[in-house]
Each structure stands twice: as structure tokens, then as C-alpha cells.
Structure 1
Amino acid sequence: MKLVVQVKLLPTPEQAQALDATLRACNRAATHTAQIAFERGVKDRNGLQKLLYADLKATFGLSAQPAVRVVKKVVDAYATLAAQAKAGLLGKPTGKRYRKALSRPVAFRPEAAQPFDDRCLSWQFDARTVSIWTVDGRMKHLRFTGSADQLKMLHAHRKGESDLVQRGGKWFLIATCEIPEPAVAEPVDWIGVDRGIVNLATTSDAANYQGRGLARYRNWCARKRAELQRKNTRSATRRLTRRAQKEQRHATHVNHRISKEIVSVAKRTGRGIAVEELDGIRERVRLRRDQRDTLSSWPFHQLGQHLKYKAQQAGVAFVTVDAAYTSQRCPRCGHTEKANRPARDHFRCRRCGLAGPADVVAGVNVRNRARSAWAFVTMPVPTRP
């Protein structure tokens, strides 16, 4: 499995200036390449490289391998855009968003991340320094730092490209690590996880991770955001960006903590983890205006991704199941009706009278569906006599 490790660079002022010039030159070259690719309809790697390789070196001061990485970056951007359009993530082909995205060339921000491979970037783990190509020549002895666990993983499993990133005046390298996956143990049962807004996650064991504290924090952030937006100054805009990044980091931390606890319980008890399939929920569900911001801003998908990769690391089985009617179906008699859930927090079956917290009932339904799904997946294929 692939994981990313982020380390912080500690450049001197002169080194930071060279890194900034390098990042901007690479992104100017990428924007130019994307423009030519769009105008001439050449979006394959070999064609673009043959067309622009010499121009990138002469015009933008790139060396051979950085020019190749710029071409690959543009090709990947167009491939991602095409995949998003095919998957319907840009809306309908007749929609404004779809036409706007595909009617103009891809552009890259001056500070957008730039990939470096082993020909442009080398690591000296004992000295905790890197040697990296810049437009001013090869920069050696650039120091980096990170947590002990991150550095250990980086040293043992780093493979492939690393991205140079600038955020808030700070410099980072994001490296890809390939870690061997442990064998997935056959689960004795399942933990069903229901994700929500009021309760961020509720398991079939009735473990509840409430979102009350997070809701207060996000409401406070929304008030501060409104105050800064009313000021409409440059400094207010900078503070808005910093606050948005801080809120995102907080949400990621909460998701990490919740997923870590659920996976540890599953591993200790020999069970697997099941979650609802929530892809496309923003398009499927119609909400009141005051609820839209809450649904759109909380990273439900990220929590599912954290559960998935942590389960893979721990050798815990992980499945996704259909989310339809999990909060309206009675897990005892199977009766499904909207009236089974008279209030957000309560469930009461109109047929058999089973009652309990609605999110726990949803988690139990997710668990039951995982049992059926896993039995179907592991069912042996019959062979012909």
C-alpha cells in the first residue's frame, strides 16, 4: 500500500529564495505546456515531450529531467480532468461548470506543488539533508525534519517521486512510501460504522463520537470568517486563508483520532470494519439552505479513507455497503418505513416495537449488511465436474 510522508524543510534565506524561483519557473513552464497542449490537441506524454522539450529548457531554464517532470505533470492534470468529467464530477455535459472546465486550458498556480524524482532529488537520511535541483544549480545540504515515526518510515519505504510544496511561507517535501500490506485476517464479526453530522461516527457497539465540540468550533470559525470577509482588506484575506487551513487541519486530526480508535478496537476483537457507501451524497440529498454548509464542509469521505488505510495497515478487513435506508430499517424484523424514525436521535419500529438510538440502529444495519456482503465475497466459486 502507498502512504505519503510529509517532512518540513529548514532552508536558509538564500535557499528559500532559490526554491521559490524554482517552483515559479516550473509552474510557468507547466502553464505554457498546458496552453500548447490545449491549442494543438496533443495531450500524450511522448507527443508533448517531443514538441516542447527543447523550448522548456531554453525558455524557462529547466534542466533535462525537470522538463520531463513538467510535461508529466501537465499530462496527469489533463488525465485527471478527463476522468472527473467521465465520472460525472463536473456535472452534466450541458452544465456551465462542465463546459467551463473543458473549454479552456489547465492553469497552474505560481506556488503549486512540483514533483521531483530521484534524478532531481536525493536524500541523506543520516545527515537529515536533501540535495535538490534548482534553477540556480544543485542545492546541497538542505536540512529537513519530521517526527521519529515519519523519518523511520521514510528511510525504510520511500519510493518514487517527492513533491516540493510551499504553504504559508514554509517549505515541505511530501514523499511516497510503499509499505507491504499485512495479510487480512478472517473477521469473526463486523463493526458497523454510521457517519453523520451530529454524531460524527457511531458504531454497532454503541460507541459514539459526538460532533458537539466540533460544531461549536466550526460555528466560531464561521463567525470569524464573516467578520474578516466584511473587512475586505488584504490582511483579512491572508487571515482567511490561514484560518481555512487551520480548520482543515483540525478536521483531519479529529478524523485521524476517530479512525484510530475504531481500528484498534476491531483489531483487538478480531472483527472487520464496515461503512456506508456515501459517494455522491451531496448530489443525491436535498437539504435546507441552513444545512448545506454543514454537509458540504465536513469531510465524510476523508473519515472513510482514514478507516480504510488504517485497517489495511493493521490487517483488518474493510468493506463498504449500500447506505439505503440504514436509519429506517429495523434490524430485528426488517420492516423499513420513514416513520420508524420519528426524530433524528430516536428509532422505533412500527411493526415489532424495537427502539433505540437511531445512529446505533444504523450501525447495526451496516454490520448486518457487511456479514452478507463478506459471505458473498468469500463464497467459493463452484467448479464443473
Structure 2
Amino acid sequence: MPGVKIVTQVKLMPEADQAAALEATLRTVNDLACWVSEVAFAQGVPREYELRKHTYAELKARGLGAQAAQHVIKKVRDAYTTLHANIRAGNLGRPQSKRRTKAASTPVTFRPQAAQPYDDRCLSWQYDARTVSIWTTAGRLKNVRFACSADALKTLRDYRKGEADLVERDGVFYLIATCEVPEAETYEPDSFIGVDLGIVNIATTSTGHQAAGRALNRYRKRQLALRAKLQKKRTKSARRRLKARARKEARHAANTNHIISKTIVTEAERTGRGLSLEELKGIRNRVRLRKPQRVALHSWAFAQLADFIVYKAKRAGVPLVFVDPAYTSQTCAACGHIDQRNRVDQGLFICRGCGVVAHADRNASHNIATRGESVWNAGRESHVPATP
């Protein structure tokens, strides 16, 4: 049975000399990655095998081990693959725009603290002792201590698979490992819970649960004001504080999304129901909002919330389907009448057909639940012609 890939982060607690070796290693591999990137750009970004011919011997001569050199080359090639995908998708602006032109006309660069991948040849784990043995440019470091929760340690011990990334943030080193956790067997749902994603309420379910609300929106407005204040200063200190605040906001968003997704999935598992989510692809281009609401839409990680719900549902065996969100906010969940005027305002829904009055987000979540059940049942129906 396929597994769910999740990442587990542990904090390294090296001694002073070990920390110096780790810092020097990251700086060295990322400096060399910048050099490999220049070579790749000059050669027209060849495939990884061809790029290896141009750079591998030099990387070895500059002190990298065989595996580290391979990882540096692969990291550079993957960076160009991502860049070209973003250009094709239009994520870097329209053709001839300054941002897109600059990205396409200059080599990719790597920060001195950028992540460096490690495989099992370069990194080994001693779970009982909570230490790792890790390759550096100064030699192999043994007995480097790490810290994590008991749950994270169990996940690492049982399900770690593949590479781990070494990163440095504000002088602190972390290992981010990939774990593949087995999916639970999906049960047959009694019905479906619809989940409507929005701005005033981040998530509303057809069972009545509403996530976020005014407290979270106040937090977002306060962070927006603080960002604007720091951006006006344009000093080195302000830029440093902006980076730290961005990481803090990202952690807050991820924590909030974890809480919301866990609540939703737990309720579905407890009641034996499935989950029906909106298809988020193109939501930012599809939705038309006033300027203040646009800021809210683009500042919340809706895709991250959906991803959290998906992987938590897979781990719990909760059935999950995605449905087309078109007209869910204009359709009456009671009679099915569709009218743009049914949505009186953000929070009020009054059906022009049957007169039912409901909370707008709650009504939309019921429509999503109904569509989810239809999608699930359609997937179970046999389309094989009957035997004559």
C-alpha cells in the first residue's frame, strides 16, 4: 500500500567545533553550487549526466567527497528545472517583464545557508543515543546530538526513507528528513462533510464547525501593518527583522492550518464520514474581490491547509474527494435554486426560490458535501455493460 510522505525536523545541538565544521561545509557546498550553476548556464543547462562531465572532477579537486559532489550537481540541475517550470507556468510574470527577464538571463545562485541534501552514505542516525554521524568538509563528525519530540523520534525510527536536508537558520542547524508513513485502509463513509474555504472564516464545515474568524484576521492585519512599517525604513536592520517576521508568520500559519485540519479530519473519522473539499486550482485567478480582501486571499496558505487535510485524511483512512466549487455560494442547499442574488452579503444567504435563510458559508459547505457524495457514488458505479 502506498505511503504518505511527510517531513520530520530535528534540531542539531553540536559542540562549538562541530558547529564550525557544519557552517563551513554549508558555505563550501553552496559556493560550489553557485560555480556549477554558472557552468550549467554557460553550457545551456545540460542534463545532469552531461553537467557531471563538466564539473564532477573539479568538485572532487576542491575537496568534496563523491556523494557530496553528486548532490551538489543534482541540486543545481533541480533548481534549473524548478526555474523553467515557474517560467512556463507564468509564476515569474509575463514575457518581457523585468522579473522574468532577470530570472531567465542570469545563473541561479544559492545562499550560504541553503539546504544541502544528505543520503545514507553521508549521514547515519543513532536513534537510541539521539545522535547522528555526518559528513563535513573537515571530515566525518560523530556523536552530533539532536533533539526532537518523542513522536518525531518514533516516526524517524519507523518510517524514515530517502534523503535528509541540512539547513541553517539564524545560527541553528536542523536536519529535515523525509518519512513515508503507510496509509490506513479507507473505510466506506456513511455520508460526507463539506469543507468551504473562505476569507472571514478560513474553513467552515457542513457540521457547523467554523475555523479562524476575527482573531486570526486581526493577527493578519497587524502583521501587514508591521511589514509596511519595516519596509518603509529600508535599513539593513529592518530587512533582517522582516526576514525573521516572515518566518514567524509562516510558522503561525502552518500551526493554525495543522489545528484546523486535525479538527476536521478527527471529526470525520469519529463520525465515520468522508470529506469533500473544493478544488483549489486557479482559486486566485477565479475569485474577484475588493482590494482589502485580495490581500487576505493572497496572504493565507489555502493550498497548505488543503494539503494538511489530505495527508491527515490518508493517515487516518478517511475517504476524501475534491469537487468543483462553481456556484456553491449561489446555490440553495435546500431546494437547489441558483441565483447570484441569493448571496446577500458575506455571511447571509437568502434563497430567492424557497425563502430559506442560512449562513452563507454553511450553505456552501452543504453544497460541497452533496457534490462530494455524488462524486464518491459515481466512482463506485460500474460502467460495464450488463451481460445479455
Same fold judged by TM-score > 0.5? Answer: yes
Cα offset for 1:280?
2.0
Identify which of 165, 168, 183 aligns with 2:167: 165
Select between 78-87 and 367-376 the one with higher mean Cα deviation: 78-87
Report the residue type matching 1:338 in the other structure.
Q
Select 2:273's aligned residue among 266, 271, 274: 271
Q: How does 1:121-136 map to 2 (within 5 A)?
A: 121-136=123-138
| Aligned counterparts, 1:186-201, within 5 A | 186-201=188-203
TM-score, length-normalised on structure 1?
A: 0.95
Alignment partner, residue 49 of structure 1: 52
For 2:26, the equivalent position in structure 1 comes to 23
After superposition, the Cα gap between the structure-2 partners of 1:372 and 1:162, relative to the gap in structure 1 and judged at 3 Å, is same
The one-letter code matched in structure 2 to 1:76 is D
Deviation at 1:286, TM superposition (A): 3.6
Contact 1:10 1:144 in 2 (8 A): yes
Aligned residues of 2:199 and 2:293 also touching (Cα < 8 A): no
2:73 alignment partner in structure 1? 71
TM-score normalised to structure 2 length: 0.94
- Deviation, structure 1 residue 292: 2.5
3-state SS in 2 of match to 1:179 = strand
d(CA) in 2 for partners of 1:90, 1:376: 39
- Equivalent residue for 1:255? 257
Structure 1 vs Structure 2: percent identity of aligned residues?
A: 54
C-alpha distance in structure 2 between counterparts of 1:369 and 1:23, whole Å? 50
What is the distance in 2 between the residues matched to 1:323 and 1:238? Answer: 40
Q: Which amino acid letter does the alignment assign opposite residue 145 of structure 2? A: R
Structure 1 distance, partners of 2:230, 2:383, is 62
Q: Deviations over 1:185-231 (max 9, x none)?
A: 12111110001111111001121113211111222223333333344
Structure 2: how far apart are the matches of 1:91 and 1:42? 22
Deviations 1:51-90 (A, max 9, x none): 210011223x211110000111112122222333344444
Deviation string, structure 1 residues 125-149 (Cα, Å, up to 9, x no partner): 1111111111111111110010000
Give secondary structure in 2 for the equivalent of 1:111: coil
- 2:353 alignment partner, SS class: coil
Question: Mapping of 1:109-124 within 5 angstroms?
Answer: 109-124=111-126
- Cα distance in structure 2, aligned partners of 1:40 and 1:111: 26
Residues in 2 aligned to 1:199 and 1:87: alpha-carbon distance in whole angstroms: 30
Change (3 A) 1:237 1:92: closer
Shift of 1:355: 1.5
* One-letter code aligned to 2:23: D
Cα deviation digits, residues 258-314 of structure 1 (max 9, x gap) = 110110110011111111112222223343333322111111111101100000000
Contact 1:260 1:310 in 2 (8 A): yes
Mapping 1:91-102, distance limit 5 Å: 91-93=93-95, 95-102=97-104
Measured against aligned partners, the alpha-carbon deviations of 1:229-259 in whole angstroms (never above 9, x if no partner) come to 3443322322222122111111111111111
Aligned mates of 2:52, 2:326 — CA distance in 1: 48
- Hey, what's the Cα distance between the residues in 1 that align with 2:324 and 2:346? 20
1:8 aligns with 2:11: yes
Give the 5 Å matches for 1:79-228.
79-93=81-95, 95-228=97-230
Unaligned runs of 5+ in 2: none
8 Å CA contact 1:43–1:78 kept in 2: the answer is no
The amino acid that maps onto 1:13 is A
Q: Which residue number corresponds to residue 34 of structure 1?
A: 37
Distance 1:90 1:145, change over 3 A: same
Aligned length: 384
**Distance of 2:231 and 2:103 partners within structure 1:** 27
Q: How far apart are the structure 1 equivalents of 2:239 and 2:88? A: 35
Q: Do the aligned residues in 1 keep the contact of 2:8 with 2:156 (CA within 8 Å)?
A: yes
Match of 1:301 in 2: 303
- Matched with 2:241 is 239
